[in-house]
Amino acid sequence: MSALEAMTPQPSAEVTGEAGVGPWHAAWRRLRRNPAGIVGAVIVLAFVLVAVLAPLLAPYRPATSEWFGQVTPTSVPGPSDEHPLGLDSFGSDLLTQLVYGARSSLVIGVVSTAVGLAAGALLGVLAGGIGGRVDTIVMRIVDVLLSIPALLLAVSVAALLGRSSLSIMLAISAAQVPIFARLLRASLLAQRGQDYVVALKSLGLRQRRIVVGHMLPNSLGPVLVQATLTLATAVIEVAALSFLGLGDPDPAVAEWGRMLVTAQDRLDQAPHLALYPGLAIAITALGFTLLGEALREALDPRSSR
């Protein structure tokens, strides 16, 4: 063991709950024993597989309205051998729309969360790593963003940029930036007074190397958990923005939120048109929430006692 490693605090067997096992390995073991985490992981994995394999799973192309003649003002065809879930109001296969809607939600949710995490992490590192006047300026900007409700901020950004998938990604990520910034800043501030940081400073290491090479890796646990939980919120916000008419105007792009909008006029005739996309949104958000909570418990050293 090097002198630097000797000065860095290592989790004890009491904290990790596993003698001779690293904290990440112990967290993985606790996660595997968490039933809620397993259920969440299965839901998330199923969601990802459906989104990735959409062209193979969907029986038809998205937004294909060749069966529009079967839709009447008073009825919408239900499940059949040709269409397992029936048709929607535009004569498209409902199962196909649901499958491709999963792809849209996954892409927009993951990209928006990644952008929000990157921008928030940058602000958090500047505030918590440098401190001083930089911390004051950055946190005042974050406070202004936090004073605006997340959905209202997302709606404002999406309305300003126009209707497109890119605008939804930027809108959702803008609402997530202050969350990640404050969380990472708090984690970095908690690391400042640790013995290993004092030891690194006494060895003459530069502040930038200490922050990026040592403090930041030890502060990422809560941020990664929050990113998983934020994915659940992102899926709901994608549907909400599409429901408000701020989604991609291209009818060939299937979105769960748009499916809810088009189902409003048919609720008395075909309530399943709103039931299926609503369940898809709820189950997907539940999966990310369960997985995120399980990760939080697994990474919390106190949960092993």
Residue 43 vs residues 39, 81, 178, 237, 285: alpha-carbon distances, Å: 6, 27, 28, 19, 9
Domain 21-304 has what CATH class?
A: mainly alpha
| Cα 105 from Cα 48, distance rounded (Å) | 10
User: Contact at 8 Å (CB) between 178 and 146?
Assistant: yes
Contact between 154 and 237 (Cβ < 8 Å): yes
Continuous segment of H or E residues that includes residue 219 = helix 216-243
Q: What is the pLDDT along the chain (305 residues), one digit of tens a residue?
A: 444 344 444 444 444 445 445 666 777 777 788 888 889 889 999 999 998 898 888 888 877 777 766 777 677 777 777 888 878 877 788 888 889 888 888 888 888 889 999 999 888 888 887 778 888 888 888 888 888 887 788 888 888 887 788 888 888 888 888 889 988 888 888 877 777 777 877 777 777 787 777 777 777 778 888 888 888 888 888 888 877 777 777 766 778 888 888 888 777 778 888 888 889 989 998 998 888 888 887 776 555 44
Q: Please report, as a single letter, which amino acid is at residue 150.
A: A
Q: What pLDDT is stored for residue 12 in this prediction?
A: 41
Neighbours of 62 (CB within 10 A): 20
Spell out the SS3 assignment of 47-81.
Answer: HHHHHHCHHHHCCCCCCCCCCHHHCECCECCCCCC
pTM of the model: 0.77
**pLDDT for res 21:** 55
* Integer angstrom CA distances of residue 23 from 26, 28, 99: 5, 9, 38
Q: What is the CA radius of gyration of the chain?
A: 23
CB 75 within 8 A of CB 97: no
pLDDT of residue 22: 61
CA of residue 97 relative to chain centroid, distance: 22
| 3-state percent breakdown (helix, strand, coil) of the chain, nearest 5 | 75, 0, 25
Distance CA(100)–CA(60), nearest Å, equals 10
Joined tokens for residue 22: 């690293």
Half-sphere exposure of 99 (CA within 13 A, CB side): 21
pLDDT at 23: 63
Which residue in 240, 223, 220 sits closest to 109, CA to CA? 240
CA angle 247, 234, 186 (to 5 degrees): 140
Q: In degrees rounded to 5, what are phi and psi of residue 56?
A: -85, -30
